[in-house]
Chain A
């Protein structure tokens, strides 16, 4: 495992955003394996390797969340799911079937939140950052941490501008 880690990107500080995005889009974790040449597509690895890659992928995601946290839209969805769950619990415990109406309302709200949280594509985000930062980004050389830090900076800038206005 440890020997296999040496062949992979094990931190978001070094993993290029291109491969991070590819892994997210395709679900193929072979993009986490280091290679000298650039790959637009990769073959899926063996089961054992996939398991090792899954562990690495998990640690990468943990690192990402530790550093940048969940997005507010995701947290909204989670909160709504919790609300629905608690309504269901109340319905079961009290037997009050009128709560089904409230559950239906919450379900509709949840669907709306999910649709709103889609966001743009990777290239759109990249273009947004390039425009905001004023320089071009090479996705093969920009690490995940770097990329999301750009976004963080732009968000801060946007918020300060908004509050200033």
Chain B
């Protein structure tokens, strides 16, 4: 089988995929069959997943179905590819098998044709043999005689020394031939006289040739003449001999030419004669047959001949058939043997291949087992060796670790020493740097502070100027604010007796109004507490009288002044009745709280006390001052203190509510409330509560 030729690249459906031979295609086909089985199994599993028979209930079910469908599509694709490749391989195998069959057929045809040609040749040989055997005995004899004549002629020529040709002595043959010709003429009635003459002429030419050969022999030129002269036995006749020799030579030369022509003609005639002999032989056969017919023996002879011919033909046919049968059987046997040999070779090859594979696998297994055994041994040895090495390495490592730790300790110690040194140096440098920076900062701060102080001085100067303006303004405002009714009245009074009396009356009036206010206030408080009008009036009158009596009693109780009086009410309720002397001041609860000890200090030592208080309470809040500017700072502190005091007073004045009670032209009481110098409420009572004389009306 011619199946080992590789399948060509362009014969594949998918190029560059694989180039299998027919044998490898078989192996591949088996693998593809396995793959197809695998795909079928996968398709079954996937199909079972899909074919649940239940509609999807959730999105997960739908997604699962989509995944299974995709998987099935992949399986289908893979299955299709495998089927396609399988078809390609099957086609290749089919082509290879067809090619192998064609090759076998061609081989058989060639063998048969070779056997046929041998048969043909044998048949031709048999035909020739038959023809040869069919020749008549006379013809055979004549031919034999002719051959004998030729042999004799040749021997005769050789005996005469003429070796230039070997055509033989035709003389006798020609005489026999003449007889034959005559018999032929007699039998057939054909005129053969020309042929007989030609035979006769040939005989004459042969005689002349014999004579010349006898005289001259094989000599040439003068030697020939000399031999002729010797033959003449006469020295005296030498000249004559010479003349005759010359003449003879001349005649001989001519005769020789004639002989050559005769020879040529004789050869031609000989050829023609041979040809005619063959024709004559053929004709003779026909004539013999004809004669046999005429003699009446045709049936017997013909039957015999026919029997012989039939037997010969039958025998020949049997021989031929036998030969053909033997040849065919031999060819089939050969083909069978060849096929058997081939199959045997193939089987042997497969057996050998299997055997080789088996031995190879056994050898591999053996090698693997040996390797396992050796590997085990090697492993054990290696384990022992590794153990020793590990121990050694551990020892070395421990030693190295110890050394390393010592070195590390040394390095650490050195490092810490160096680090301490570096740190000390750095600390020194840092301190130096910080000191330098501090000096620089101090210097800078000093400069800045000086600049700030200059600025502060300037600002203070501005503040003082502004304060002075403010004081003037406040003074003007205070004068305006304190220009109450009484102040205005008092302000216009002089030192005269009348004026003093008027001032006294004014002061009495002021006290009276104060009492009235107090009475009214108490009255309102009692009313608010729920007392009736008369009760409230009675209680207010009692309070007023008690206050007057208590005031007379307690007059002089605060001659030394008091600070943070512990009475009833709030800081602005004015719930306590005190006596106050002329020229004394009253500090508010807020001002007292903000400047604790100030009122006491002032009451105790006046301005010096205030100054001392300020030195103790104000200055600590101010940054450290230089001695040079201390006086200024004290001054500024005092100014600030006074300013605070002024603000406090101003607030007191602003918050002051003034009530004015007057009588108009109609005798009605006009009550006016004035806050911060601004009239707010004016109440007119047409029924005066207190009927009295207006002293300044």
Contacts and interface: CB of A to CB of B under 8 A. Distances in A.
B75 A92 contact: yes
Nearest to B79: A92
A66 B76 CA distance: 34
Contacts of B39: 92
Nearest to B45: A89
A79 interface: yes
Contact of B43 (A66, A79, A82, A92): A92
Interface in B51-80: 51, 55-59, 62, 65, 68-69, 72, 75-76, 79
Given A79-B55, A92-B39, A86 B76 contact: no
Contacts of A88: 43, 72, 76
Contacts of A61: 59
Nearest to B68: A85
Nearest to A103: B76
A62 B59 CA distance: 7
B379 interface: no
A47 interface: no
Interface string A50-68: 0000000010011001100
Given A78-B62, A92-B40, A92-B43, A85 B72 contact: yes
B280 interface: no
Contacts of A92: 39-40, 43, 75-76, 79
A88 B80 CA distance: 12
B58 A66 contact: yes
Interface in A82-97: 82, 85-86, 88-93
A70 B56 contact: yes
Interface in B64-106: 65, 68-69, 72, 75-76, 79
A75 B40 CA distance: 28
Given A92-B43, A93-B40, A86 B59 contact: no
Contacts of B58: 62, 65-66
B654 interface: no
A86 B47 contact: yes
Contacts of B75: 92
Given A78-B56, A88-B72, A93 B65 contact: no
A93 B76 CA distance: 10
Contact of A65 (B44, B59, B65, B72): B59
A78 B65 CA distance: 9
Given A92-B39, A92-B75, A81 B69 contact: yes
Contact of B65 (A58, A81, A91): A81
B634 interface: no
B43 A58 contact: no
Nearest to B46: A89
B47 A58 contact: no
A66 B58 CA distance: 7
A135 to B, nearest CB: 32
A75 B75 CA distance: 25
Interface residues of B, number: 21
B335 interface: no
A69 to B, nearest CB: 8
B59 A82 contact: no
A128 B51 CA distance: 38
Interface in B27-48: 39-40, 43-44, 46-47
Contacts of B62: 70, 78
B670 interface: no
B47 A85 contact: yes
A75 B51 CA distance: 14
B55 A78 contact: yes
Contacts of A78: 55-56, 62, 65
Interface in B535-583: none
A92 to B, nearest CB: 4
B228 interface: no
A82 to B, nearest CB: 6
Interface in B603-625: none
A85 B55 contact: no
B51 A82 contact: yes
B265 to A, nearest CB: 96
Given A92-B40, A92-B75, A92-B76, A86 B56 contact: no
Contacts of B50: 82, 85-86, 89
A56 to B, nearest CB: 14
B44 A89 contact: yes
Contact of A89 (B43, B59, B65): B43
A65 B62 CA distance: 11
A88 B43 CA distance: 8
Contacts of A89: 43-44, 46-47, 50, 72
Contacts of A62: 58-59
A82 B47 CA distance: 9
A93 B43 contact: yes
Nearest to B53: A82
Contacts of A70: 55-56, 62
Contact of A86 (B40, B51, B55, B65): B51
Nearest to A72: B55
Nearest to B83: A95
A81 B55 CA distance: 12
A79 B50 CA distance: 10
A75 B76 contact: no
Nearest to A91: B76
A66 B59 CA distance: 10
Contacts of A58: 59
A32 to B, nearest CB: 17
Residue with the greatest number of chain B CB neighbours at <10 A, chosen from A58, A85, A93:
A85
A85 B70 CA distance: 10
Contacts of A69: 57
A117 B39 CA distance: 34
A103 B47 CA distance: 15
A69 B43 CA distance: 30
Interface of A: 58, 61-62, 65-66, 69-70, 75, 78-79, 81-82, 85-86, 88-93
Given A66-B58, A70-B56, A85-B50, 9 more contacts: A69-B57, A70-B62, A82-B50, A85-B68, A86-B47, A89-B44, A92-B43, A92-B75, A93-B47
23 contacts: A62-B59, A65-B58, A70-B55, A70-B62, A75-B55, A75-B56, A78-B56, A82-B65, A85-B46, A85-B68, A86-B50, A86-B51, A88-B72, A89-B43, A89-B44, A89-B50, A90-B47, A91-B76, A92-B39, A92-B40, A92-B75, A92-B79, A93-B47
Give the top 4 A-B pairs by smallest Cβ distance, nearest first: A89-B47, A92-B43, A89-B43, A85-B50
